Every structure is written in structure tokens, then in C-alpha cells.
Structure 1
């Protein structure tokens, strides 16, 4: 085990517990012991509902590690198991690398005969969609050698880049440049009491995205030649809009875990945003949303995950930020998915900030910046589709910041929304939900009743009767909306502890 605690780490700007003498971070003024053994403040959001989240704060010295490679991280987690442990991240850890530190790419994971070009051609709408529809959609269960090879290739990548985090863990970035890239941390069912702070997460890149021909598929007679049965090359389901690329990995997946605090961290696609991978099929399968998606969420909270606080973090340059609840049909999520978000900064994020199903979510003092322009204009979907192809916006199109999904209960207060070319329905959008509440928030410089105005704009009204009132605010009172922008810009993100 590469445990570098008492020597080189004592020379770092951010000192850690276990070094002789009291260390103080010269930038933040926070003592080393406070940073290393930090715990969630009392009553700080839903994560604190069943007591303080301590992570690895009670770790013995033998379970305090400094790691700078994937192998060292995996070894530290395995050695300590579920015992309290503190893992410091030094520099950049590439999760898509082997034990010698060599980066692994598509060629290393690929199983023959997979190739993207052959896969794309095998399941092109002009080939796949001409078959009989199933429940008014193309068959969504792809078959054939290319899909089998894609699945096997994807498994190889998943086995390497997904790192399971055990209970009673603190993962703390050292200094201002700690990064975890090209992989995913997973907090699974049965795991609890986890703290993640002061880390930049980037580019959980899926080399083997899956084409789903039935996703968003619609028989729309406004599209020339669109019909439910194949007639010829110009008439049939292949001429209808729909189909999406889907990817596998989030930067952090809270997949059934509970009592999790994520703080002062930064999340993005890094230098490989999905905007670099435009649609590969011709009209009508070339909408902006049909780009080849290599990134999934930034932080997803699913499968009865519960009691999570995400604070003072920066989410930027990504389309779908995070889900809380991943399916309308998962009624087992009722009573779970309780999440608090405060002091976070969302910049050039398109949607899901978050999209909520079933959960009670408290969102306050967050700052949302984006642009809703780009879907095109016209009397129907076909005309809007054609219009959008002329504009091709470079930003991620804001569709909704807070998405009220099935049986969700979002309580929003003192948030600030700056959404160019948008209206209040882009701040709080109805995604098959029934309720949402907001108070004290600002939209494009004006204090308004956002739910009431969103109801007017969308025509899909939400009741304000969410059935609960937050009580878990921690040591810091809610800021008025007028103070949120300065506070968030100064505090949100890695390197600002």
C-alpha cells in the first residue's frame, strides 16, 4: 500500500492529521485537522436527518491514506473495508487506467466484432425501423452480433472504471487541484455515512453508448412519409422522429446508498463534451437531442437512495445534471430519495438540476445560469425541427432547472434563476408531477411567484401543496435571493475550502 501520510503529505499546502505540529491551509485558514476529519454540520439538510454524517472522521492513523492513482485508491478502500477511513486525493486520478498507470481507451475494452461504424449502420432507422412496430415503437431490444459485442465491451469498461465506495468513508481532495476523471464513484445499497469534498470530477466517458430506437419515438403525420407501417424507402416508421443515444456512467452514482454529504466539488464533462459528437443519422433522426451521448448524469440518486446533502458545488457545461429517482414505475422509491441542495452553482447545464421522482427535495440558495434558446420555432414539431437545424446553438439548451416528476415534492426557496430566452417554466418544469413550492426566489432579476408564473407559461399547473416543510438548515441561515449570486460564486466548487 502506498500510504504517504507522515512524509510528503506534510509538505503539501493542505496538511493532514497525523503530521507533527498543527497544520493550517494558508489559503482557506482552515486547520488541517478540521479539513481532514470534517463532518457534516448538525441539521445540515436531509443527510443529517438521522444524525451527523461523520464519514471516516473517526479513522485510526493506519486508515488515513493519500493516493494519486486508481490502484492506490482501490487498494485503500479494500484494505480499510467498512472501518472509518480518510482518503486524500493528491493530483489527478484517472479511473480508466491500469495498475501501471497506463490510460485505457476504447481499443483496450473493445470486444470483436464491435465497431461504432458497423453498430451505427446495423441499427440505422432505415434498417431497423422498417420492421413491424411493437406497441407503436420500433423494437427497443436490439439483437445481433454488434449489440452483443457492444454489451461485452461495455462490461469490460464498467469493470474497470466504476469504483464502489464502502461505508464510513471520507474522500477529501488535497489543495486546489485534486481530480478524479474518466470514471464513476458508486455508493450502493447498504452503504452509508460517506463524505466527498474538495474534488473536481470530469469526463465519465462511455466508449460504447447504446442506440435506443424507441426512445421519444412518435408517429407524427406532420413529418413527410411518417407512418406506422413500412411501405417503401420514403414511407414508413423510418421517416418518423425519435431514437436516442444513451450512456452508462455518472460521475457519482448514489445507487441505494444513504447518509451522503457531497460538498465543495466540481462536476463537468471535461474536454470531451457531448457537443463534439453530433447526430450521425440523417433527417428526421438528426435533432439536437440525438447527438451521440457519451456522458450520462453528473450525480444521480436512485433505487431507494436516501438522506443526501449536496452543498457548495459547481456543475457546469453538461446537459442532464442529475436524476433523483430514475423511473416512474419504481413505486418502491416512495418514502426515500430525500435530498437537500444548497449553495450550488449550475452554469450552462441543460436540465435535471435535478429532475425528481417520488423524493422530497429541498433546494435553496442555488444559482442557475443558462440559455433556453435553440429548439427552433414553428407551428408543429416538424417545423421546429427544421428551424432548429439552422441555429445549432453552442450552449446546452435549458429545458427545466427543477423538474417536478411523478409523486415528487420539491420545496424551493431563495434560488436565483438567470435563464436567457426563458420563462418561469424553465425554472420549475412539470415532468408529470402534481406539486411544487417556491418562495423568495428570483427569475431574471425579478422577485416573482415562480410556480404561479410557471403554471401560466406551461399550461401544466402544479399545486403548491407539497405536504411538508423543511426544518434541516444547518448552522447558516437562508440567504435572501439578492445575496445568493455573490455567495455562490465565491464559495461553490473545488479548491474553495
Structure 2
């Protein structure tokens, strides 16, 4: 690959000329910000310094995909600072021409043919021994979809190397249509002041068995196929699943994400509604082209997210990918401080195993159409469709999963058409603690809500207490103004 990035040192050439005092000062100020490390006491990622010790020869300014890749590869695992200037589209060829679905698609792949091959009316008519539809699709269309997905993945997934700071210049730095991947063995990474937009999967996969249930409240739902109107094909369930997060911390350690914005941009999932008829037309069965915004999985550890703005996205942040990954115990330790979850749907975050400290975060959204525990699955299905809006339904902020130990402190929830029941959801966990949070202006009594089922008590003893505070918590009532003023790219 041709080396096309620019060394940052050249950017200030000539700044000693008359009339250049302000640019010199601005350049110096940015250099200082680019070389910042997180504080020694700032959450689980305390002490992460990224590329702050970079030699001048390992400081780069990049404005396209090739330059970004060259900078990451040239510096290897040495300390490096990569400054993002303007917009970088990761879904481009080596000449920076944008690539779209037709460029990645295998010649045999056809979305309409894919839908016909795996439609519930066709695929679900026989159940497996596990009493659910076969989840591993087979056949020419799934094989073609996978080849297409592999083509896209090779192009848009960018491996971040250790000891790296990636920081946006000015107020308009963007990374579009791709995935920064911080994998196993990668450590000490800082990403700041960038808008991440539209990590779009052109080839989402249909999983017939995801959330499938033999619910005989649904007309015709039965485990035995009788005819077109009666059988497993009339039972609810199945989901579209996509591949890419804007940032994946997949085994990486010591990561600080600060003052970034995450958005689906002009291609939100509302543009891709369900494609199968009832009972497979739930809001959740949209054709999902975006996965998480920041997912932290597979033994990742020591992560702090501060002053980020998550916008108009359903599945925001997953911590821990599976109940069965018991090797994650003792890892997945994450701090969320001063972030804004605006019109998010769920996973703010959804946690397995990790010790997660969430404080002074701001959650805003609309719970119209969210599941109601007093209604049946079918009634919630119908309610969700009738009340769906253009933004994701605010289902749950905290997902309390297996082995999780969430310590919530002085957060502020502003949930239109909702209540504290939308702020937390038990998903296999047994522990949760909150102090000082507010929901729609009222003190948050999580203990009462989460213990509504006496057979599944939730203990406030999470087994640990945070000691790493980048800033001491402010009162929850002050959080909205504070976070609006500080969270997101362009606000360093």
C-alpha cells in the first residue's frame, strides 16, 4: 500500500510569519489535547495514555481510508497519534471511490430470493429436536449472502493497533460506514472527538430461531405442521441480525472513548421495516442493518466512556456477548460517565459478568410501544406496531445480565410515555445498585421495581464499590444541562 498520510509536523510550517499568532496558539492547544492521557483516577481505564508519548515521526494527519490504514501500520505498536481531518469513508476502494452493496454482492446473491428461501412459511414448517426452527440456514442463498458479507467485512473493518490515539481535528471529523476493531492483544487505545456514522451491514442475516416461541395465543401457532394456516410457521419469533458496530472492543484492554458522537445518519433502521407478514412483523423484526454503536465483548477490559453522545439507535452498547462465556468473569469492567443516550432503544448498556460503573449519564427517549408486563406477548406485539414511532422505542436502559454487577449513581432518565420500569430490565442477572438517580424528575426506586417478582430477587449488594472517579458525581438534577453542554464530538 502506498504511504500517503501526512506527518503532522508539516501542518505548522510557516506559522512563525506575521499575523499567525492565533493559528500558532490553536495548533499548540490541539497538540496538547492530542497528547492527553486519561486521568490516573478516571474510571476503569485510568492511566490509559494511548499515543501520548509518540515521537514526532509517529504523529500523522489523515483524511481518507488509505491514510488511516497507513498510519496504523507504519506505527505498528509504537506510540502514535493519528489526527482525523474531515470525513473518512471506510467503504471505499483504494482510489477513494465509494463502494456499495452491488460492489460487495456475490453474483448469486439476491435479497428477494433470500427472503423467499427462508421465509417462515417455508423454513419453519418443521422444528428441530430443540423444538424451534433450525437457526443455521443452509442453501445457495445463505452461502451467497455469507460470501457477500465477507467481501464487505474485508474492506470496512479496520484493525486498531496498540498504543494509539485517534483524535478528530476541529469540530467536523467523521468516520463513516465502517468499524474500528480493537481486538484481543490490543491495548492502550484512545479515541476522541470523532463522529461515527452509519456502520451499515448490506447483508444482514435472518435467524429464524432468535426469540422464537411456541405461543398458542397466536392464531394457528402449533408445533405440528397441519396446513398453511396451522403450524410452527404461525408462531412468533425470528430476527434479522447485522454484523458491524461503529467501535468493537473485542478482547482489547485499556481503552478510553471520549467526546465522540455515534449515529446511524441518513440510513436509520426505520427505513427498513419487517418484510414478512404477521406474526413476523413485530417492530423488533425490522431488517436490521446496524448492530451496536460500541460493543465490549470477549474478555475486553478496563474501558472508560466519557462524554459520548449516542443518537437515535436501538442496540447501543453490549457488554459481554454470551451467558456461556464464563471466561469473561473478572473482566468487562467499564465506566460510563457523562454520556448522553438520546432516543436510544436498549442496551445502555446491557451487561454480562462485568463490573460497570454508570454515573452522571443522561437518558432521553420515548417508551411508546414498549412491552407492558401486564399484557400478553400478542397484545404487546399489536401495541408495539400501533404505537411505533420514527425513533427507537425506549425499552430498557440497563440490561441486568448474568453475572453482572452494575453500580448506578446520579443518573437522569427522561422517558416520555414511560417510567422507571423502562430504566432497568432483568436479563438473567441477580444484582443491581443505584443511588441518587432520577426518573422523570422523581427519585428512582429501582429496588421496588426490580423486586416485583419475589421469586427472582435482585440484591443491591453488587460486591464492589467504585473508587475511580474522574470527576466527583454531580447531583442528578444538574445532569441534563451538564451533559447537553459537554457530550459529543466538537465539545472538547
Give the TM-score normalised by the residue count of structure 1: 0.94
Provide, for residues 215-272 of structure 1, a one-character-per-residue CA deviation record: whole Å limited to 9, x for no partner.
0000111111100011100010000000000000000000000000000000011110
Deviations along 1:87-113, one digit per CA (max 9) or x if unpaired, are: 000000000001111000111111121
Tell me the secondary structure at the aligned position of residue 254 of structure 2. strand
Report the more deviating stretch, 156-165 or 3-12. Answer: 3-12
CA contact 2:264–2:313 (8 Å) conserved in 1: yes
Q: Does 1:432 align with 2:428?
A: yes
CA distance in 2, matches of 1:379, 1:332: 37
Where in structure 1 are there 5+ consecutive unaligned residues?
13-18
Deviations 1:265-321 (A, max 9, x none): 000111100010000000000000000000000000000000000000100100010
Residue aligning to 1:94:
89
Deviation of 1:393 after TM superposition, in Å, equals 2.1
1:424·1:451 contact (CA, 8 Å) conserved in 2? Answer: no
Q: Give distance in 2, aligned partners of 1:41 and 1:10.
A: 32
Match for residue 122 of structure 2? Answer: 127
Structure 2 distance, partners of 1:375, 1:339, is: 27
Q: Where does 1:95-244 land on structure 2 (aligned, <5 Å)?
A: 95-244=90-239
Q: How far apart, in 1, do the equivalents of 2:224 and 2:451 lie?
A: 38
CA RMSD of aligned residues (A): 2.0
Does residue 1:308 correspond to 2:303, yes or no? yes
> 2: CA distance between counterparts of 1:11 and 1:396?
50
Contact 1:423 1:454 in 2 (8 A): no
Distance 1:151 1:383 in 2: 36
Local SS of the residue matching 1:46: coil
Flag the 1:374–1:54 CA change in 2: closer, same or farther, 3 A.
same
Counterpart of 2:41 in structure 1 is: 43
1:255 counterpart = 2:250:
yes
Aligned residues of 1:46 and 1:338 also touching (Cα < 8 A): yes
Match of 1:235, SS state, is coil
Q: Distance in 2 between matches of 1:295 and 1:370?
A: 19
Shift of 1:32: 2.4
Q: Which residue of 2 aligns with 1:407?
A: 403
Over residues 346-380 of structure 1, what are the superposed CA-to-partner deviations in whole Å (9 max), with x where a residue is unaligned?
A: 01000000000000000000000011111477842
Counterpart contact for 1:22–1:31, Cα < 8 Å: no
Residue deviations 1:320-341 (CA, integer Å, cap 9, x gap) = 1010001011000000000000
Distance 1:386 1:485, change over 3 A: closer
CA separation in 1, counterparts of 2:375 and 2:400? 26
- Residue 265 of structure 1 is matched in structure 2 by 260
Could you say which residue in structure 2 is the equivalent of 1:15?
none
Tell me which of 250, 273, 278 is aligned to 2:273.
278
Query: CA–CA distance in 2 between the matches of 1:487 and 1:379?
Result: 38
Seen in structure 2, the aligned counterparts of structure 1 residues 278 and 350 have a Cα distance that, compared at 3 Å, is: same
> Partners of 1:204 and 1:53 in 2: how far apart?
26
Q: Which whole-Å deviations, capped at 9, do the CAs of 1:368-398 have from their partners, x for residues lacking one?
A: 0011111477842223323333333222111
Alignment partner, residue 6 of structure 2? 3
Contact 2:221 2:233 in 1 (8 A): yes
> Within 1, Cα distance between the matches of 2:289 and 2:367?
22
- After superposition, the Cα gap between the structure-2 partners of 1:11 and 1:69, relative to the gap in structure 1 and judged at 3 Å, is farther
Task: Kindly state the Cα deviation for residue 11 of structure 1 after the two structures are TM-superposed.
Answer: 9.4
Structure 1 window deviating more from structure 2 (381-390 vs 72-81): it is: 381-390
Residue in structure 1 matched with residue 291 of structure 2 by the alignment: 296
Q: Which of 330, 335, 360 is residue 355 of structure 2 equivalent to? A: 360
Distance in structure 1 (CA, Å) of the matches to 2:400 and 2:305: 18
SS at match of 1:468: coil
TM-score (norm 2): 0.95
Query: Which whole-Å deviations, capped at 9, do the CAs of 1:198-228 have from their partners, x for residues lacking one?
Result: 0000100000000000000001111111000
Q: Which moved more, 1:422-431 or 1:354-363?
A: 422-431
| Corresponding position of 2:59 | 64
CA contact (8 A) 2:357 2:406 kept: yes
Correspondence for 1:448 among 444, 449, 462: 444
Q: CA deviation at 1:424?
A: 1.4
- 1:205 match: secondary structure: coil
Is 1:334 matched up with 2:329? yes
Offset, 1:458:
10
CA, structure 1 residues 177+342, in 2 after alignment: closer, same or farther (shift >3 Å)? same
Q: Is 1:393 the equivalent of 2:389?
A: yes
Number of residue pairs matched by the alignment: 484
